[in-house]
Amino acid sequence: MQVTDLPEIKPHVREYHRACFDCLDCGQSTYADSKLPLGDSHFGPRIHALVLDLSLSCRLSHRQIRDHLKRSFNIKVSIGTISSMIERAGQFTKDVFK
Protein backbone atom coordinates (compact mmCIF):
# COMPACT_ATOMS: atom_id res chain seq x y z
CA MET A 1 0.00 0.00 0.00
CA GLN A 2 1.26 3.49 -0.83
CA VAL A 3 0.32 6.55 1.17
CA THR A 4 0.93 9.99 -0.28
CA ASP A 5 1.31 12.95 2.04
CA LEU A 6 2.66 16.47 1.96
CA PRO A 7 5.94 17.31 3.69
CA GLU A 8 5.87 19.57 6.72
CA ILE A 9 6.04 23.15 5.51
CA LYS A 10 7.75 25.70 7.71
CA PRO A 11 8.55 29.33 6.89
CA HIS A 12 12.20 30.02 6.11
CA VAL A 13 13.36 33.30 7.67
CA ARG A 14 16.41 35.11 6.27
CA GLU A 15 17.95 38.16 7.83
CA TYR A 16 19.51 40.86 5.68
CA HIS A 17 21.72 43.65 6.94
CA ARG A 18 22.06 46.98 5.15
CA ALA A 19 24.85 49.47 5.57
CA CYS A 20 23.92 52.53 7.61
CA PHE A 21 25.78 55.83 7.43
CA ASP A 22 25.48 58.70 9.89
CA CYS A 23 26.02 62.29 8.72
CA LEU A 24 28.78 63.89 10.78
CA ASP A 25 27.13 67.33 10.46
CA CYS A 26 23.45 66.70 11.22
CA GLY A 27 23.55 63.16 12.69
CA GLN A 28 20.84 61.82 10.32
CA SER A 29 21.13 58.15 9.40
CA THR A 30 20.96 56.96 5.81
CA TYR A 31 20.54 53.31 4.83
CA ALA A 32 21.83 51.67 1.66
CA ASP A 33 19.20 50.85 -0.95
CA SER A 34 17.59 47.43 -0.78
CA LYS A 35 18.54 45.19 -3.70
CA LEU A 36 15.81 42.65 -2.99
CA PRO A 37 13.42 42.01 -5.89
CA LEU A 38 10.36 43.11 -3.93
CA GLY A 39 11.96 46.06 -2.17
CA ASP A 40 11.76 46.42 1.60
CA SER A 41 8.98 43.88 2.09
CA HIS A 42 9.25 41.58 5.08
CA PHE A 43 8.02 38.75 2.85
CA GLY A 44 9.85 36.97 0.05
CA PRO A 45 8.88 36.17 -3.52
CA ARG A 46 7.36 32.76 -2.76
CA ILE A 47 4.88 34.06 -0.23
CA HIS A 48 4.03 36.93 -2.59
CA ALA A 49 3.38 34.36 -5.34
CA LEU A 50 1.20 32.28 -3.00
CA VAL A 51 -0.83 35.31 -1.91
CA LEU A 52 -1.27 36.40 -5.52
CA ASP A 53 -2.36 32.89 -6.53
CA LEU A 54 -4.83 32.62 -3.64
CA SER A 55 -6.26 35.99 -4.60
CA LEU A 56 -6.45 35.59 -8.38
CA SER A 57 -6.82 31.85 -9.01
CA CYS A 58 -8.69 30.82 -5.88
CA ARG A 59 -10.55 34.13 -5.55
CA LEU A 60 -10.06 34.27 -1.79
CA SER A 61 -10.70 37.51 0.05
CA HIS A 62 -7.90 39.24 1.92
CA ARG A 63 -9.34 37.94 5.20
CA GLN A 64 -9.47 34.38 3.85
CA ILE A 65 -5.85 34.65 2.67
CA ARG A 66 -4.79 35.98 6.09
CA ASP A 67 -6.58 33.10 7.81
CA HIS A 68 -5.08 30.54 5.40
CA LEU A 69 -1.53 31.80 6.03
CA LYS A 70 -2.06 31.62 9.80
CA ARG A 71 -3.72 28.21 9.73
CA SER A 72 -1.39 26.52 7.22
CA PHE A 73 1.98 28.15 7.93
CA ASN A 74 1.55 29.96 11.27
CA ILE A 75 2.38 33.24 9.51
CA LYS A 76 0.61 36.25 10.99
CA VAL A 77 -0.10 39.10 8.59
CA SER A 78 -2.57 41.94 8.57
CA ILE A 79 -5.16 42.53 5.88
CA GLY A 80 -3.26 45.68 4.89
CA THR A 81 -0.12 43.57 4.40
CA ILE A 82 -2.04 41.20 2.12
CA SER A 83 -3.19 44.18 0.07
CA SER A 84 0.36 45.55 -0.12
CA MET A 85 1.74 42.16 -1.17
CA ILE A 86 -0.76 41.89 -4.03
CA GLU A 87 0.01 45.45 -5.16
CA ARG A 88 3.79 44.92 -4.89
CA ALA A 89 3.65 41.62 -6.80
CA GLY A 90 1.57 43.27 -9.50
CA GLN A 91 4.04 46.15 -9.81
CA PHE A 92 6.99 43.74 -9.91
CA THR A 93 5.29 41.71 -12.66
CA LYS A 94 4.53 44.88 -14.62
CA ASP A 95 8.18 46.01 -14.35
CA VAL A 96 9.53 42.60 -15.42
CA PHE A 97 7.28 42.23 -18.47
CA LYS A 98 7.68 45.74 -19.94
Could you report the average pLDDT of every consecutive run of 10 residues in the chain (98 residues)?
A: 84 80 87 70 87 95 96 93 91 74
pTM of the full predicted structure? 0.69
- How far is it, in rounded angstroms, from Cα 50 to Cα 43? 11
- How far is it, in rounded angstroms, from Cα 6 to Cα 63? 25
pLDDT for the residue numbered 34: 65
Q: Looking at this protein, which amino acid is placed at residue 91?
A: Q
What is residue 42's DSSP assignment?
S
Distances in Å between the Cα of 84 and the Cα atoms of 2, 6, 42, 72 are 42, 29, 11, 20
Cβ-contact 20, 31 below 8 angstroms: yes
pLDDT for the residue numbered 37: 63
Cβ-contact 69, 62 below 8 angstroms: no
pLDDT for the residue numbered 89: 83
pLDDT for the residue numbered 67: 97
Convert the pLDDT of each residue in 31-55 to its tens digit: 777 666 677 778 888 899 899 999 9
pLDDT for the residue numbered 64: 98
